[in-house]
Structure 1
Amino acid sequence: MDLKKQMRSVIQWEDPKDYQLFFKFTDRGDELKNASKLILQPGQGCIFTYEGKIEGFFETEGIYDLKTSNTPFWTTIKKFMNAFESEHKTGLWFYRKAELLNVRWGTRIPITYNDPVYSFPVKLRAYGNYSLRITNAKEFFINILAGQTDYFVDQLQEVFLSRITQPISSYLANAKFSYAEIDGHIETIAQQAQLKTTEIFEKLGFQLTDFRIEGTSFDPETNKRISEISDVQADVNAASIAGIDFAELQRLRAMRDVAKNEGMAGASMGMLTGMEMGKAMSGTTAAPQEAPKNNIKIKLKELKEFFEEDLISEEEFQAKKQQLLDQL
């Protein structure tokens, strides 16, 4: 027999691991001897079970006496015929009361909601960190731990993500944030998600003390569709500045593309396209009526914005500006 373990009288959580929530004392912890001493450090708690029942909680740091029906030496000698096993089984589960900070998280599947501006479903991924603290060790012990020897915070990931994803989806569906507005409202989204899940986590035995979204990203399909829409919007704006409608711009571009694809044989077509576009840009194409002065003023402002955003060169800006001024 191991006399040292038979005489064991001091029990404590000697080496807590990072992000460890629960730890079962297993150094002959199921046959603790009468009047053993339990030591709790600050930020620790302990659940004591005896003969299969929860007999007590220790939530304040200090030294406690554990009283059982086992007595050193004599118990083991009496149980010699039972392979040194005692029926007076005990269990000690230490748990971390202190707050766990900056636990990483990220969505494993995209959050899907309808974009209020573009009117089609978009898929959003997010990542960040959260902090938590055990507030009801008994509920956690009974409903989640279920007798496991160790329990680390990463084992909560599935529980956490399954409960935080739905509130975020619901909030985004009602908040009407568009694709371009998500990053500007990350803090608000995080606060609402934490608020809507407070009661859920309390029922599980712990408190979500902080929840942060550090970044977001949309899936490639969503980015592609938004990009295509943006390109069309840019073309419409460009056509307006050029003084032609969008349909005419598309026709001229199609003619240009045909000319390029035909190589040398399309040289004359390219020249013709260039002439057509030149006429459109110079305003020599037939128009039902002369553009009013206020319309020219708007075009001048838009033309200046294009120049300031480096969408056109200074030469193009000056040339088109002079054309518009000539119409006054």
Structure 2
Amino acid sequence: MGLWDKVTSQFIEVIEWLDDTPDTLVYRFPVYNQEIKMGAKLTVRESQTAVFVNEGQVADVFTPGLYTLSTQNMPIMTTLCSWKYGFNSPFKAEVYFVSMRQFTDLKWGTANPIMLRDPEFGPIRLRAYGIYSMRVSDPRLFVQQIVGTNSRFQVDEISGQLKRQLVSGFTDILGESKIAALDLAANYDELSQMCRSKLANDFASLGLDLTKFVVENISLPPEVEQALDKRASMGIIGDMRKYTQFQAANALEDAARNPGGDAGTGAGLGAGFAMGQMIAQSLGQSQQTASPAGATVTCSRCGTAAPQSSKFCPGCGNPLSPTAVACIKCGAQIAQGAKFCNECGAPQTAKVQCPNCKTELPTGAKFCHECGTRLE
């Protein structure tokens, strides 16, 4: 300090602060040797609070308004009387302006994934991020516990600690909630409110108020998201066998449109073989569904056993003839299950009666067992 500064420091101060920064929490008004004079004028504006420290202790906290300060420093006289201290007054006084506005759009996020046990997927890792807002709620406590004698205290000097507290509280809430990963998006607001309530006391112990806490996103690792995308795609497709048949049919159509070239021929043959296998499997499944268990017929050419309802042999493709039975009237060989004889036209399900005594007789009987009448 020069001589002129020493001279001007003897005038009574007008103390005020116009904040031109977006992130200053506390500002100490600069006074030569911290010697605020008796009768100094203090102006505190809206969104500000002034903490007056006199002789090393917090003397008062001033809300918006105009005030006159009372100290032991009398202009000129105190300096002259302090010759034994090198003309340096022992009566120190400072004014700390505290910004009471909200500091918004502050970021928080998980530096490392959060390990959780999901009821559907089992152990999973989650990442989350969002924003929060805070303001000073207790200026005296904040200056005493956090700021100290710092001449300018900004948000980034405490944001690191606040972020870690937020992530710790959020992790605890998320683990206790036991919400399934696929249901988290529907509970962002609820998680935000629970975290704000849980962390309110931690912020209050620093003289701060957590006015807003927002969960913006909770995400799974990329590999898990890809697996979920595949699972969702399969759910949209539905019947995978029918989808595969549809794809093979499209491949056959594409090959037919490009008959030239070995590549087109190979693609067509491959798709044809695949289509044939799927058709054979489909026929086999439908035949197995329609035929009763154990009912088979033997192929006369290769001896392969096939379901009784099969029309062709699955081994050689030979047509399978149905089992033959005798007509109940003329004895001619007819297909099993036929309702009429191919030779005599006799119905195969009609009841047989004796023409003499009218007794019902079993199918194929040649004589009446009651009267002995010969049946034609």
Normalising by structure 1, report the TM-score: 0.70
Summarize the Cα distance change of 1:11–1:194 in structure 2 as closer, same or farther, 3 Å threshold.
same
After superposing the two structures, state which structure 1 stretch, 221-230 or 141-150, moved more. Answer: 221-230
Cα distance 1:201–1:36, how it changes in 2: closer, same or farther (>3 A)?
Answer: same
User: Partner residue of 1:322?
Assistant: none
Structure 1: how far apart are the matches of 2:176 and 2:278? 46
Q: Deviations over 1:271-320 (max 9, x none)?
A: 3223223444xx313354249xxxxxxxxxxxxxxxxxxxxxxxxxxxxx
CA distance in 1, matches of 2:274, 2:87: 99
Instruction: Identify the match of residue 66 of structure 2 among 63, 68, 90.
Output: 63
Q: Structure 2: which 5+ runs fail to align?
A: 252-262, 292-376
Aligned equivalents of 2:119, 2:184: Cα separation in 1: 12
Q: Residue 37 of structure 2: SS of its match in structure 1?
A: coil
- Could you tell me how far 1:212 is from its partner in structure 2? 2.0
Once residues 90 and 224 of structure 2 are traced to their aligned partners in structure 1, the CA distance between those partners, rounded to angstroms, is 63
Alignment counterpart, residue 140 of structure 2, candidates 129, 135, 138: 138
Aligned partner of 2:24 in structure 1 is: 20
Q: Which residue of 1 aligns with 2:15?
A: 11
> Counterpart of 1:133 in 2: which secondary structure?
strand
Q: Which of 70-79 and 45-54 deviates more?
A: 70-79
Shift of 1:195: 1.4
Partner residue, 2:98: 95
Q: Is 1:209 paired with 2:208?
A: no
Residue 48 (structure 2) aligned to one of 32, 44, 48: 44
Aligned to 2:121: 118
Write the distance in 2 (CA, Å) between the matches of 1:82 and 1:169.
Answer: 56
Q: Which has the higher contact order (CA 8 A, sep 6+)?
A: 1
Structure 1 counterpart of 2:28, which letter?
K
Query: How has the CA–CA distance of structure 1 residues 285 and 8 changed in structure 2, closer, same or farther, with 3 Å as cutoff?
Result: farther
DSSP-derived class of the 2:104 partner: strand
Cross-structure match for 2:130: 127
Cα shift readout 1:175-225 (whole Å, capped 9, x = no counterpart): 333333222221111111111111221112121122223344333233234
Aligned to 1:178: 180
Name the structure 2 match of 1:285: 284
Aligned AA for 2:276? M
**1:29 and 1:180, CA in 2 relative to 1: closer, same or farther beyond 3 A?**
farther
Give 1:86's aligned residue: 89
TM-aligned CA distance change 1:88 to 1:101, over 3 Å: closer
SS for the counterpart of 1:34 is: coil
Q: Which residue of 2 aligns with 1:106?
A: 108
2:236, 2:163 → 1: CA distance? Answer: 39
C-alpha distance in 1 between matches for 2:42 and 2:174: 50
- Identity rate of aligned residues, in percent? 20
Question: CA contact under 8 A between 2:110 and 2:167: conserved in structure 1?
Answer: no
**Any conservation in 2 of the 1:134–1:206 contact (CA below 8 Å)?**
yes
The total of aligned residue pairs comes to 272
CA distance in 2, matches of 1:234, 1:118: 20
Q: Distance in 1 between matches of 2:147 and 2:140?
A: 10
Whole-angstrom CA distance in 2 between matches of 1:222 and 1:142: 48
- Contact kept? 2:110, 2:129, Cα under 8 Å: no
1:24 Cα offset (Å): 0.8
CA distance 1:162–1:132, change in 2 (3 Å) = same
Q: Is the 8 A contact 1:132 1:207 kept in 2?
A: yes
How far did residue 68 of structure 1 move? 1.9
1-side partners of 2:33 and 2:226: how far apart? 60
Say yes or no: does 1:271 pair with 2:275. no
Q: Is the 8 A contact 2:126 2:218 kept in 1?
A: no
For structure 1, which segment, 215-224 or 198-207, has the greater mean C-alpha deviation from structure 2 after superposition? 215-224
Provide closer, same or farther for how the CA distance between residues 220 and 146 of structure 1 changes in structure 2, counting only shifts above 3 A: farther
Q: 1:148 aligns with which of 147, 150, 153?
A: 150
Q: Distance in 2 between matches of 1:151 and 1:278?
A: 78
Instruction: Select between 70-79 and 46-55 the one with higher mean Cα deviation.
Output: 70-79
In 1, the alpha carbon distance for the partners of 2:177 and 2:93 equals: 53
Q: Would the aligned equivalents of 1:19 and 1:100 in 2 still touch at CA under 8 Å?
A: no
Is the 1:37–1:63 Cα contact (8 Å) retained in structure 2? yes
**Code of the aligned partner of 2:284:** T
- Quick one: distance in 1 between partners of 2:10 and 2:221? 61
Q: What is the deviation of 1:83?
A: 5.3
TM-score w.r.t. the length of structure 2 is 0.62
- TM superposition shift of 1:103: 2.7
Cα drift, residue 81 of structure 1 = 7.1
**Structure possessing the higher radius of gyration over alpha carbons:** 2
What amino acid maps onto 1:152 in structure 2?
A: Q
Deviation at 1:18, TM superposition (A): 2.0
